Structure 1
């Protein structure tokens, strides 16, 4: 509509303004930008992905493996006008963690959290409000997985300083199939394969260097001076 005709409240981040017009966000329609993903999600998991933001924390429980995976949407506030708003919805996280704490079946599970955006990157497209990591640590999560920056990385988030304190290992993955123009210089296509055995998780990194090439071990994890790099690393649980 014309700027001069709009008399409603303009909330920061909820509108875009041109020279002669203003476009104000309608929440119900705005949520529909995830509709196509919801359909894809339904094809995989036989149920639609929820469009309400406070429901976008999905718990997958695998009792035989004693494994719990929490999927979070770090893109719930993003669009092509606002690209630097990656974060985790506090209401969605709170609901999921409350459910996890109340269910005794989840108590002794290995817990992994998964979302898209990195905590650290060279650009502004990262999660800057990282307080939710403390909540994950207190809830007993041991790992967090992400992508987006198109390169395999690892780091450690420590909530407690003690050797046996609460902590989460980061397992960052490269890109499995992004267009060539989106590949980070010096990094091939990549994916990680995670294997859990006894009290150890091992991350195997694979790479592909040509458009139609073969996948092969990616020996990028250095071991020290004079030592050859390995295509895997292990983390004690």
Structure 2
């Protein structure tokens, strides 16, 4: 069994390979009225591209994990869109159902960006995601295959809720487990909104008490998930099925595996 901190280190290196994408986002997102639904799996480099843009736009969305070998949401995705290909986005606000990561990215910028245009940096991805694929390998290919112990097990009645952002290595470890256990969840992006937010909560570039940007998205969630209501620390998991509320990736992973993977 790989030690948890080694998994975190692998996830950190994986994030670095993407050049910092998936860490920063707008403090004033254009959040859709109806939740975006993303069928994907953590270890897919194409899905990763979409998640990075979701963080940049600071959008919340529902995740329906579709790991290889999964039996729950792969079938639903095929039923909804006609094929088991990922990522697959359902946007009930526009009535669109989209495959192909670039098409999804263009859709997100068009409908939820500031000017409706896809920035050049996100408009011309290489056809083969070599860098992102390398990141998946560095991360131990976690979040690619279903945990065979839970195949055909019923999903919890209510979606779990996870606060984090794409590039957070601690969040990445948790998302990998959620994928392998086929646990659907709402992902609340809390992207870094300015230079003062950079760095982990215990070693931020601007020392002292954390004060979120006024009227920014973080200011609206710090009382919900901020540790001691005065800081932002991710990941943070809420399970409405049991009432569990957990910080610390290792504690969250342990909870998920005991509750849903045993």
Same fold judged by TM-score > 0.5? no
Q: Which of the pair is proportionally richer in strand? A: 1
Normalised to the residue count of structure 2, the TM-score between the two structures is: 0.23
The answer to which structure, 1 or 2, has the higher relative contact order (CA under 8 A, 6+ apart) is: 2
Structure with greater helix percent: 2
Provide TM-score, normalisation by structure 1.
0.24
